[in-house]
């Protein structure tokens, strides 16, 4: 292992990261095979994490995430410095549009939604919070790519094989570049049935005091409802992402 790193802690982190919304529960043998570690090593790590309340073991012997994760998740957005700046703008945007408002950050080729304010129409829970999605087919993701620093954007776009999520998803890098240029010119992005049929989202960048794009704010909802007030939603997203940027010290 490289200098100054702890291999058993790194393995424990790999164990923790195996628990996802799509695979929330693991057995010892299954996880050992998945991670290519020995069963006794995995068992020791799991037992230690259960003692620490990071994980818990169920009656069927399988392991899942423990309550300590809720406390850690509660620490996450607070320290990003965005939280307080977002409260009023997101509320105003939600009240103006009546739709779900989210703020996402770029993580490699994905967007992670770190804040969210639900539409009254929404059936979904905050269990979906922290959800990540592909950057190339979401409003937030495309806004983050469009307004990213060029070296970062070039690094992300290089050799990227874009997965198709619907028939409308952009799947070629040249086409995506063209659309990102359009987004930069008009100041907002739009996802039309690209991540999910029937869903449209509109997003704009949030900038910090140095002018760097650190997040994107978006409104998302069923195509009919968004399209019925498309211009109003677009204007509101642009306005309120600017308000947020101002609160973070952006003066451009």
Partner DNA sequence: ACAGTTGTCCCGCTATGCGGAATAGTCCTA
Partner DNA sequence: TAGGACTATTCCGCATAGCGGGACAACTGT
Query: Which stretches of the chain bind a copy of itself, using CB under 8 A?
Result: 4-6, 8-10, 12-14, 16-17, 19-21, 23-25, 43-45, 47-49, 51-54, 64-80, 83, 86-88, 90-91, 105, 107, 112-118, 120, 123, 125-132
187 lies in the site for DNA, by CB under 7 A: no
Among 2, 4, 79, 210, binds DNA (CB under 7 A): 4
CB count in 10 Å sphere of residue 41: 15
Residue with tokens 């776009």: 157
Q: 109: closest CA among 73, 79, 78, 140? A: 140
Among a copy of itself, DNA, none, residue 252 binds (CB under 5-8 Å by kind): none
How far apart are the C-alpha atoms of 152 and 156, rounded to whole Å? 6
How far apart are the C-alpha atoms of 49 and 66, rounded to whole Å? 9
CB 230, CB 236: distance < 8 Å: no
Among a copy of itself, DNA, none, residue 70 binds (CB under 5-8 Å by kind): a copy of itself
How far apart are the C-alpha atoms of 146 and 163, rounded to whole Å? 19
151 lies in the site for DNA, by CB under 7 A: no
Nearer to a copy of itself, 27 or 187 (CB): 27
Among 18, 37, 68, 156, binds DNA (CB under 7 A): 37
How far apart are the C-alpha atoms of 213 and 224, rounded to whole Å? 30
Among 23, 24, 40, 81, binds DNA (CB under 7 A): 40
Nearer to a copy of itself, 90 or 143 (CB): 90
Exposure string over 97-126, b if 16+ CB within 10 A, otherwise e: bebbbbbbbbeeebbbbbbbbbbeeeeeee
Tally the residues of the chain: 252
5 lies in the site for DNA, by CB under 7 A: yes
52 lies in the site for DNA, by CB under 7 A: no
How far apart are the C-alpha atoms of 128 and 73, rounded to whole Å? 12
Stretch that binds DNA, among 27-35, 124-132, 174-182, 211-219 (CB under 7 A): 27-35
Nearer to a copy of itself, 68 or 223 (CB): 68
Among a copy of itself, DNA, none, residue 60 binds (CB under 5-8 Å by kind): DNA
Among 15, 19, 46, 199, binds DNA (CB under 7 A): 46
Contact residues for DNA (CB under 7 A)?
1, 3-9, 11, 27-30, 37-41, 43-47, 57, 60-62
């Amino acid at each position: 292992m490289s200098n100054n790193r702890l291999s058993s802690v790194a393995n424990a982190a790999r164990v923790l990261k195996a628990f996802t919304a799509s695979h929330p529960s693991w057995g010892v043998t299954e996880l050992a095979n998945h991670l290519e570690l020995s069963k006794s090593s995995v068992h020791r790590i799991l037992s230690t994490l259960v003692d620490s309340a990071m994980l818990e073991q169920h009656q069927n012997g399988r392991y899942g995430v423990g309550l300590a994760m809720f406390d850690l998740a509660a620490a996450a957005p607070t320290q990003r410095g965005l939280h307080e700046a977002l409260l009023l703008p997101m509320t105003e945007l939600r009240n103006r549009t009546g739709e779900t408002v989210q703020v996402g950050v770029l993580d490699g080729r994905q967007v992670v939604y770190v804040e969210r304010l639900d539409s009254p129409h929404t059936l979904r829970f905050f269990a979906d919070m922290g959800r990540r999605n592909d950057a190339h087919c979401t409003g937030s993701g495309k806004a983050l790519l469009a307004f990213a620093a060029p070296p970062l954007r070039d690094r992300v776009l290089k050799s990227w094989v874009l997965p198709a999520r619907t028939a409308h998803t952009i799947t070629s890098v040249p086409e995506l570049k063209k659309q990102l240029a359009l987004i930069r010119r008009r100041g907002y992005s739009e996802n039309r049935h690209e991540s999910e049929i029937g869903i449209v989202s509109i997003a704009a960048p949030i900038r910090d005091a140095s002018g760097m794009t650190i997040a994107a704010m978006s409104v998302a909802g069923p195509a009919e409802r968004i399209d019925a007030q498309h211009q109003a939603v677009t204007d509101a997203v642009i306005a309120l992402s600017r308000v947020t940027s101002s609160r973070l010290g952006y003066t451009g």
